Amino acid sequence: MKHRKIMGGRIKGKNERGAWAELYFMVLAMTYGLKLSSSYGGYGPYDVGVEGTGPILRVQVKCTLCQCRGGGYSISVNRSYGTRRRRGYAPGTVDFFALYIIPTDDWYIFPYAAIGERDRNLHFRPEFWRQKHDKHKEAWHLLVDAAKHRAHSPIDIHGCCDQDEVAQAAREIARRAGVRKMFRGVLHG
């Protein structure tokens, strides 16, 4: 259960809020050992380049404060062309979408194949334990695995675990929580 409050909602301009979400994404991605690059100017189809030991992945970061009437949140996954023209992302322009719901501090990591090239509006209900996009909620492993370009065998079974590995994993989780707390503290002033 999360015990944190995000202050990104205090940022009034949508461009500034989007830049803040990109920075927040980069901080969290770095805690997973990923190397990052960012394009300046906002003219490309993606926001962040993510690198591990495999290829550089292009990630488009989106965020929302938009709460729907019946509850839940909505995020538009498209590109704007002019004032009224929108369309989805063409194949080969983006590898992943990182969608962030500011009020609940929830990240959804989608591979391009899960969304495709259509202009889409996705709806999320983070408070429900069974929702349509639940498998993508906090699915950082999808991004990490793709960046590391790991070759998986058809079945990978581990029969036991080393106590040192469990302790290391617990320390890593605590460190990531500390990074999130520190990042939010910057916004509090």
Total domain count, the chain? 1
Establish if 176 belongs to a structural domain: yes
Establish if 1 belongs to a structural domain: no
Q: Tokens standing for 181?
A: 């707390």
Q: What is the pTM of this model?
A: 0.71
Taking alpha carbons only, the member of 169, 114, 174, 167 closest to residue 139 is 114
Establish if 3 belongs to a structural domain: no
pLDDT in tens, 149-174: 754 444 444 455 567 776 777 777 77
The mean-pLDDT minimum among 12-16, 146-150, 154-158 falls in 154-158
Any idea what the CATH number is for the domain that residue 113 is in?
A: 3.40.1350.10
